[in-house]
Amino acid sequence: MNLAAALARSGARVLVIDLDPQGNASTALGVDHRSDLQSVYEVLVSDLPIADVVQRSTEHENLDCVPATIHLAGAEIELVSLVAREQRLRRALDTHLAGMDEPYDYVFIDCPPSLGLLTINAFVAAREVLIPIQCEYYALEGLSQLLSNIELIERHLNPDLRLSTILLTMYDSRTNLAQQVAQEVRDHFPTQTLDTIIPRSVRVSEAPSYGQSVITYDFTSTGSLSYREAAAEIAWRGAQEPQEESN
C-alpha cells in the first residue's frame, strides 16, 4: 500500500486489488469495504466487471482500489466449482485494462498469507512477483516454499510470471540477525533485491489504523522516506527494461 501511494504521488496511475479477506489494503487506502458493498468477491464469483467495484482512494487522485470484503473468506470454496477458476481475476483485469482510455502504470495485487485459489488467481493475473521480506529468521524460512509455488504457477498456469523484486522490511540495524537475513537475501537474489531497505518504524505500523499510508500519515518520517525511495527505485528499474530488451 505504501509503495502504491508513493508511486501515485510521483505521478503514476496506480490500481491496488485487495485479495485478502481481512481487507487490510482497503483499510490503509481509506476505501470503504463494508460487507454490504460489492467488491472483488463479486468480480471473482459473479463475473462483475472491475469498473463496477473500483473506488478512488482517499490517498491520492491517481490511486484506485478494488476493495475486499469479508465475503471473500468464502470465495476459496465457491471458486472450486467454477470454470477456469484460476483465471477469473486475470480475465476480469485484462478486460478492465483493455477498456481504459488511460491504462494504469502499475497494478498491485495484495494476496492473503496462504496459497489458496485467491493467491493462485493473483499469480495467474500478475506478470511479476514482488516479495516484501521481514528481516527475521522465519520470514527467510518461508521464502523457499513461496519460490517453489511461484515456479509451479509459472510452469503450469502462467509462463510470463517472474520474481522481479524483493523488498527488505522491518529492518533493525541494531540486531545481528537482521543484518544476516538481509545479507543472505542479497547473496541469493542480487538482482531482484532493492537497494532500499525499510527500517522498523512506529509510524509505518500506526498509519493503517488511521486509514492512511505512511506517506500521508507522516510524510517526513523515516518510514515514508524509505518507501518513497523504494518506489523511485522500482520506477527506475521499470524504465530500464524496455532499453535492455531493445539492446
Q: What is the pLDDT of residues 157-170, one digit of tens each?
A: 999 999 999 999 99
Q: Which residue has the higher pLDDT, 95 or 74?
A: 95
Q: Stretch 140-145: mean pLDDT, rounded?
A: 83
**Band (145; pLDDT cuts 50, 70, 90):** confident
> Which residue's entry shows cell 533493525?
172
First-to-last alpha carbon distance for the chain, in angstroms, is 34
Q: What pLDDT is stored for residue 139 in this prediction? A: 83
> By the 8 A CB rule, do 169 and 201 touch?
no
Asked whether the CA dihedral 73, 131, 110, 229 is positive or negative, the reply is positive
Q: What pLDDT is stored for residue 242 in this prediction? A: 56
Q: Stretch 105-120: mean pLDDT, rounded?
A: 92
Q: What is the CATH number of the domain that holds 120?
A: 3.40.50.300
The answer to whether position 13 is within a domain reads yes
pLDDT tens figures, 41-53: 999 999 999 999 9
Residue 224 has pLDDT above 70, yes or no: yes
The answer to whether position 207 is within a domain reads no
Percentages helix, strand, coil for the chain (3-state, rounded to 5) are 50, 15, 30
> By the 8 A CB rule, do 214 and 223 touch?
yes
Q: What percent of the chain has pLDDT over 90?
A: 76
> Which residue's entry shows cell 458493498?
37
**Band (173; pLDDT cuts 50, 70, 90):** confident
Domain range enclosing 64: 1-126
The answer to whether position 178 is within a domain reads no
- Beta-carbon contacts of 116 under 8 Å, excluding residues fewer than 6 positions away, are 76
Q: Which residue has the higher pLDDT, 84 or 104?
A: 104
The answer to whether position 107 is within a domain reads yes
The answer to whether position 18 is within a domain reads yes
Domains held by the chain: number: 1
CA gap 80, 57 in Å, rounded: 31
> What predicted TM-score, i.e. pTM, was given to this entire model?
0.92
Mean pLDDT for the chain overall: 91
CA angle (70 as vertex; 77, 63 as ends), nearest 5: 115
> By the 8 A CB rule, do 21 and 73 touch?
yes
Residue 65 has pLDDT above 80, yes or no: yes
Q: What pLDDT is stored for residue 225 in this prediction? A: 97
The answer to whether position 187 is within a domain reads no
Q: What pLDDT is stored for residue 246 in this prediction? A: 42
Q: Which three cell numbers stand for residue 8?
A: 501515485
The answer to whether position 186 is within a domain reads no
Cβ burial 104-137 (10 Å sphere, 16+ → b, else e): bbbbbbbbbeebebbbbbbbbbbeebbbebbbbe
Sheet of 14-18: strands edge to edge? 55-56, 63-66, 14-18, 106-110
The answer to whether position 48 is within a domain reads yes
**Kind of pairing between the strands at 106-110 and 193-199:** unpaired
CA angle (131 as vertex; 243, 199 as ends), nearest 5: 100
